[in-house]
């Protein structure tokens, strides 16, 4: 690992592969052991009970949480000081990936150990932590996070729930209702957001057994039937002031930071779900015979399998890269210091753009993979007898919760803009490169493809994409300045470009490292997936870039833009069809995600 402290959005500035990134191939022996335990837990405890869980057997779900607690799966993020393990982020994410192979359980586990536990971890007082952590670690107490309300979803800060300080200053009285609360059916401890004195958005800890706390009926959902989702009603609920979480009026800090981390976790979770789905799909394709042969022999099916594997490879490269960065930036922190949680949060906040990217990509890759898995199953994929039917329904919510993909897409360029304005992100170097390219009279000539362990072509393509993205972003900023925030259509296109660039940069970075450590010949499938990913990302970037420019200017000005655009881009002649055959062969041969 490079000794330099990693910075968010580095992929917009540095040259691809110039910084060493963490890849799954680097996982340590300990991390693999954690993964094995998580896998064993899924195989032995969770998968045998999916049918009951889907029918809403939440006693079983609670029992599973307790069992998970017994083997330490709930104490991963809890500090040692409070009886936990406090392992690194990478390990925590590996466990999340493995535990996410069944969504009903993943959501329950995620709500308890993630958005349920983190508010306390980062904002709780010593007394609060001492009181709750040991019980959260064993699932004697189950946690939930109550932000959303019937009238406020994306606009979370507009919550109407009220908290009034009693005259003696000893208690708060809470009134209001919260909507869509995961784990509400059996949770004992809720992080509740409410307005104090009208508009001071504030977080509180509310015990489930307080008088006036009640929950509605189970929501009748499209998917995630193996998790509990209910409305939470608070009617004159009296809680001691000691239950205040963080400061009065600083609830937004709690809400947004926790969502940030939740997005990262969701990205990794979809990776686990996606790999499971690919495995189920390829096994079905090998079993199902039509026209006297397994449908896995057909090119149309194989290209789907290749595409699924490729997108998961790119997602995986993105996820663990960020996990590695987070660990690197926390490495030098003193875990015994009082401000440790705050420092950790800062380190995580640094990667808020990447978190949003992973949330968006993860949820969309998962939906794509689920959709193709159903297609591979044909009519049987439409039958509740098959796992993919449930996977398809379960997948859909990922694009909606933890901030809808629209909200997250808008956040991506928005946060980059903010970082640039604050001087936290220096795009100057990249803009300079763009100008140098534009000063030349001709479009660049790409280096030859293939037979090159330095992956020059792949790196070249990524660098060209980088210039293109920065050029378009710069034009959008020049034209709209601060008003850019209101130009949602432009923001969405910019977000797509940035997302694809991050995918290219992470995937090439990983494959480069692999070629270096494992040799050129033994990384054929990795290289094929990388090129397919690059080709598709590049097309999206070109497409969105063009669309933006047509909107940003007209007449001569547009002509000038388009001329510049042509200088910054080229037609990468990538034979995606042949490359897909390589990846598909690997998927079929291994009957699994092949990386």
Partner 1 sequence: MKILTTVKRVTDPDMKVRIQPDQSGIVTEGVEYKMNSFDEYGVEEAITLKEAHGGEVVVVSIGPGAATKELRTAMAMGADRAILVETDADLDSDAVARVLAEVVGREEPDVIIMGKQAVDSDRSQTPQILGSYLNWPQATFAYKVEIEDGWAVVGREVDGGTATKRIKLPGIISADLRLNEPRYASLPGIMKAKRKPLETLTPDDLGVDIAPKVKVLNYEAPEERGAGEMVDDVDDLINRLKDEARVI
Ligand X SMILES: Cc1cc2nc3c(=O)[nH]c(=O)nc-3n(C[C@H](O)[C@H](O)[C@H](O)COP(=O)(O)OP(=O)(O)OC[C@H]3O[C@@H](n4cnc5c(N)ncnc54)[C@H](O)[C@@H]3O)c2cc1C
β-strands 143-146, 162-165: how paired? unpaired
Active-site residue identified among 149, 387, 389, 402: 402
Binding track, positions 326-365, relative to partner 1; x by CB under 8 A: ----------------------------------------
Q: Which stretch binds ligand X (CB under 6 A): 71-79, 142-150, 496-504, 551-559?
A: 142-150
The one of partner 1, ligand X, none whose footprint includes residue 33, by CB under 5 to 8 A per kind, is partner 1
Using CB under 6 A as the binding rule, whether residue 159 contacts ligand X is answered as no
Using CB under 8 A as the binding rule, whether residue 516 contacts partner 1 is answered as no
What is the rounded CA–CA span in Å between residue 569 and residue 592?
36
Q: How far is the CB of 146 from ligand X (least distance, A)?
A: 5
Beta strands in 485-554 (DSSP E): none
Using the minimum distance from each CB to ligand X, give the nearer residue, 407 or 476: 407
Using CB under 8 A as the binding rule, whether residue 589 contacts partner 1 is answered as yes
Q: Pick from 182, 243, 257, 329: which binds ligand X (CB under 6 A)?
A: 182
Q: Pick from 130, 155, 247, 287: which binds partner 1 (CB under 8 A)?
A: 287
Burial 72-103 (b: 16+ CB within 10 A, else e): bbbbbbbbeebebbbbbbbbbbbbbbbbbbbb
Using the minimum distance from each CB to partner 1, give the nearer residue, 70 or 235: 70
Q: Which stretch binds ligand X (CB under 6 A): 3-11, 121-129, 180-188, 239-247?
A: 180-188
Q: Residues near 514 by Cβ (< 8 Å), separated by ≥ 6?
A: 23, 25, 523, 526
Binding track, positions 36-65, relative to ligand X; x by CB under 6 A: ------------------------------
User: Is 402 a catalytic site residue?
Assistant: yes
Asked whether 459 and 508 are in contact (CB, 8 A), the reply is: yes
Burial class (CB in 10 A: 0-12, 13-18, 19+), 554: exposed
**Residue 70: its H or E element:** helix 58-70
Q: How many CA atoms lie within 13 A of 471 on its CB side?
A: 29
What is the rounded CA–CA span in Å between residue 489 and residue 492?
5
Using CB under 6 A as the binding rule, whether residue 366 contacts ligand X is answered as no
Using the minimum distance from each CB to ligand X, give the nearer residue, 61 or 407: 407
Asked whether 495 and 488 are in contact (CB, 8 A), the reply is: no
> Which region, left, alpha or beta, applies to residue 83 given φ > 0 means left and ψ of -120 to 50 means alpha?
left
Q: How far is the CB of 228 from partner 1 (least distance, A)?
A: 25
The one of ligand X, partner 1, none whose footprint includes residue 337, by CB under 5 to 8 A per kind, is none
Residues marked as catalytic = 402
Which residues here bind partner 1, judged by CB under 8 A? 29-30, 32-34, 36-37, 40-41, 70-73, 75-76, 85, 87, 287, 289, 292, 294, 522, 589-592, 594-595
């Amino acid at each position: 690992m490079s000794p330099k402290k990693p910075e968010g959005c580095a992929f917009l500035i540095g040259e691809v592969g110039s910084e060493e990134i963490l890849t799954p191939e680097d996982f340590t022996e300990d991390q693999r052991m954690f993964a094995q335990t998580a896998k064993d837990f899924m195989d032995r405890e969770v998968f045998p009970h999916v049918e009951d869980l889907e029918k809403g057997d939440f006693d079983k779900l609670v029992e599973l949480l307790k069992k998970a607690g017994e083997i330490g799966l709930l104490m991963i993020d809890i500090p040692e000081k409070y009886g936990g393990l406090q392992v690194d982020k990478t390990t925590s994410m590996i466990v999340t990936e493995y535990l996410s192979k069944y969504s009903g359980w993943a959501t329950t586990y995620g709500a308890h150990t993630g958005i349920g536990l983190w508010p306390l971890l980062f904002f709780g007082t010593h007394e609060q932590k001492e009181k709750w952590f040991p019980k959260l670690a064993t699932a004697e107490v189950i946690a939930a996070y109550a932000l959303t309300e019937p009238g406020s979803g994306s606009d979370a800060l507009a919550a109407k729930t009220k908290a009034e300080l009693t005259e003696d200053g000893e208690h708060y009285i809470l009134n209001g209702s919260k909507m869509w609360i995961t784990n509400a059916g059996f949770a004992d401890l809720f992080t509740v957001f409410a307005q104090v004195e009208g508009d001071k958005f504030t977080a509180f800890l509310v015990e489930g057994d307080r008088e006036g706390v009640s929950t509605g009926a189970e929501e009748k959902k499209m998917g995630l039937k193996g998790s509990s989702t209910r409305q939470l009603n608070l009617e004159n609920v009296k809680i001691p002031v000691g239950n205040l979480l963080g400061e009065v009026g600083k609830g937004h800090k709690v809400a947004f930071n926790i969502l940030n981390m939740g997005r990262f976790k969701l990205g990794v979770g979809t990776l686990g779900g996606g790999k499971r789905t690919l495995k189920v799909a390829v096994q079905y394709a090998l079993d199902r015979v039509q026209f006297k042969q397994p449908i896995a022999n057909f090119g149309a099916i194989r290209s789907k399998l290749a595409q699924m594997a490729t997108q998961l490879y790119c997602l995986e490269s993105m996820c663990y890269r960020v996990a590695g960065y987070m660990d690197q930036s926390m490495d030098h922190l003193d875990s015994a210091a009082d401000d440790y949680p705050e420092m950790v949060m800062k380190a995580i906040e640094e990667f808020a753009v990447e978190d949003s990217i992973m949330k968006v990509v993860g949820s969309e890759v998962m939906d794509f993979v689920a959709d193709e898995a159903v297609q591979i199953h044909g009519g049987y994929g439409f039958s509740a007898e098959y796992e993919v039917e449930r996977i398809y329904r379960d997948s859909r919510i990922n694009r909606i919760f933890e901030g809808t993909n629209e909200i997250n897409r808008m956040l991506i360029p928005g946060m980059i803009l903010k970082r640039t304005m604050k001087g936290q992100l220096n795009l100057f170097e990249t803009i300079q490169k763009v100008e140098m390219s534009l000063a030349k009279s001709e479009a660049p000539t790409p280096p030859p493809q293939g037979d090159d362990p330095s992956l020059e072509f792949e790196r070249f393509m990524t660098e060209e994409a980088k210039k293109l993205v920065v050029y378009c972003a710069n034009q959008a900023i020049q034209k709209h300045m601060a008003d850019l925030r209101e130009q949602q259509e432009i923001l969405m296109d910019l977000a797509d470009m940035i997302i694809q660039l991050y995918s290219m940069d992470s995937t090439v970075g990983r494959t480069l490292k692999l070629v270096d450590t494992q040799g050129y010949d033994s990384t054929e499938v990795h290289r094929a997936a990388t090129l397919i990913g690059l080709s598709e990302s590049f097309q999206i970037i070109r497409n969105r870039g063009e669309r933006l420019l047509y909107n940003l200017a007209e007449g001569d000005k547009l002509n000038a833009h388009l001329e510049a655009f042509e200088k910054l881009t080229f037609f990468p002649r990538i034979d995606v069809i042949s490359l897909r055959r390589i990846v598909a062969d690997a998927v079929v041969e291994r009957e699994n995600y092949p990386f």
